[in-house]
Amino acid sequence: MLELDGLAKRFDGQSGRALFSHVSLRLAPGECVAIMGESGVGKSTLLNCIAGLEAVDAGSIRLDGTELVALDDDAFARLRRRSYGFVFQAFHLLPHLTLAQNVALPLWLLDCAAAEAQQRATTMLAQVGLADRADDWPRHLSGGEMQRVAIARALVHRPTLVLADEPTGNLDAERAADVLELLLGSLRSAGAIGILVTHSRAAAARTDRVLRLTATGLAEEAAAA
């Protein structure tokens, strides 16, 4: 369970005005929501706050009962490695690693034995439809294929929470729909919580709930596109 209560964030130079405040949300395992909102309202910043990459100015973030706002940077980094997965608009695959090595990366960071990491990475690649590409290189892939690898990497260590920032933003409509279906299906079958920041109404409509971020918090929207 992810519980956000009264989160507020302000950057220096914003003359006392909060970027957002009163952000509260409860998400159960397997639940996936979309966060929409005007450009610049703070959606990516909110994801960064939930990930502990930006400090909040007020509020509470609890993951399975643990208060994360109280954690120091090292403790948050360890938790992030173990319990978080990330999917980015620009894929962020490492060009000098094979696809299997890219997917195995989170397992290496958790000190998983090399043989097990290799086997789990290969299994994940098969689940995203790239079984025969394990030893290939990111530069040989299409955008949609790169995002499939990124989804495998985000889920290989069985995270509690996956944060996806515009995961279909660099893809054409057909590839976006395929990648989104894969991401949401994978999240649901893994029982992970998913938070998807998107400008795409079509993408948002595929999630369980659509929320709109404004300066004064998150408001529920009708899920229909």
141: left (phi over 0), alpha (psi -120 to 50) or beta: beta
Per rule CB under 6 A, is residue 214 in the interface with ligand ATP? no
Per rule CB under 6 A, is residue 42 in the interface with ligand ATP? yes
Per rule CB under 6 A, is residue 157 in the interface with ligand ATP? no
> Least distance to ligand ATP from the beta carbon of 165, Å?
8
Per rule CB under 6 A, is residue 40 in the interface with ligand ATP? yes
Per rule CB under 6 A, is residue 19 in the interface with ligand ATP? yes
- Report how many residues bind ligand ATP under the rule CB under 6 A: 10
Write down the H helix ranges in the chain.
43-50, 73-83, 99-109, 114-127, 143-155, 173-190, 201-205
Dihedral sign, Cα of residue 122, residue 126, residue 129, residue 132 = positive
Token reading at 91 = 């894929």
Which residues are CB-neighbours of 205 under 8 A, at least 6 positions away? 34, 223, 224, 225
Query: Which among 35-43, 80-88, 133-141, 143-151 is the span making contact with ligand ATP, rule CB under 6 A?
Result: 35-43
Question: Which of 41, 105, 126, 215 touches ligand ATP (CB under 6 A)?
Answer: 41
Question: Which of 18, 31, 32, 37 touches ligand ATP (CB under 6 A)?
Answer: 37
Opening angle at CA 105, ends 48 and 130, nearest 5: 105
CA distance 60 to 23: 10
Residues 44 to 73: which contact ligand ATP by CB under 6 A?
44-45
Per rule CB under 6 A, is residue 80 in the interface with ligand ATP? no
Binding residues for ligand ATP, per CB under 6 A? 11, 19, 37, 39-45
